[in-house]
Amino acid sequence: MKALVLPAFERPEGMTTHDYAFARLRQAIMVGAFRPGTSVTIRGLAEALESSPTPVREALRQLTSIGALHFLENRRIVVPRITPARFEELISLRIVLESHAARRAVAHLSERQIDHIVAIDEAIEASILAGEKAAALIANQQFHRQIYTANPDQIAMPLIESVWLQLGPILGIAMEHVAELYVVDRHREAIDALRRRDEDAVAEAIGADIREGIGGFDQQAIAKLLSLAG
């Protein structure tokens, strides 16, 4: 049994053991630290997190509720495998959910908030130029999240993050097999549309961003990646 290695995570003071376990595992999955098909154990994670089974099991249960993990019939806990069809389904869901969320956020974004989003976009490009894949990934998620959560009554964010989590494992594989990140995003276009308060254009830009970004991998490339992950 090799020891588990989880991405670093600072534990805020006062955070419960359960919340810590959940946040850390969630983040690990989100950035692709686990490969599809990997199986995890409660005790193993409890040891890695220096705690006990109870809070870890609660965290794992939550992660299964949002599709990040699967409890099999034999009660084994695994990172879900991804088929090409499932991948395509996830991408189309991202497009539908996120263009909707973006559209409904437009009216709530202040100029100051848009400035902040611009700053995040610049951070993304900086990370890419520096070759820091994980940082670029996190910043890209932050870019999207910042837009959608501007709507104070917004409900979609947890659902969107559920989809992100389900895409996480394949993201990790993709990052390993892509020599350098090539920037193909529509962020500039989305920002311009935000400034014009053009809801249709914002929704369109976000949809295209997703379609041409990770969704741009064609079926063949995905199949190849998935076979490598077997």
Partner DNA sequence: TTTCTGAAAATGTGATCACAATATAAGAAT
Partner DNA sequence: ATTCTTATATTGTGATCACATTTTCAGAAA
What is the Cα–Cα distance from 81 to 230, expressed in whole angstroms?
A: 8
Is 197 a residue that touches DNA (CB under 7 A)?
A: no
Q: Could you give the dihedral angle defined by the CA atoms of residues 13, 135, 201 and 86, in that order, rounded to the nearest 10 degrees?
A: -90
Is 77 a residue that touches DNA (CB under 7 A)?
A: yes
Minimum CB separation of residue 59 from DNA in Å reads 9
Residue 17 site contact among its own copies, DNA, none (CB < 5 to 8 Å, cut-off depends on kind): DNA
Q: Is 7 within 8 Å of 31 (Cβ atoms)? A: yes
The identity of residue 218, as a single letter, is D
Minimum CB separation of residue 201 from its own copies in Å reads 18
Quick one: CA dihedral 71, 75, 80, 83, positive or negative? negative
Is 127 a residue that touches its own copies (CB under 8 A)?
A: no
Which residues neighbour 179 within 8 Å (Cβ) at sequence distance 6 or greater?
Answer: none
- Looking at the Cβ atoms of 1 and 8, the one nearer to DNA is 1
Is 11 a residue that touches its own copies (CB under 8 A)?
A: no
Interface ranges with its own copies (CB under 8 A): 18, 54, 57-58, 61-62, 64-67, 83, 85-86, 88-90, 92-93, 96-97, 100, 104, 151-156, 158-159, 162-163, 166
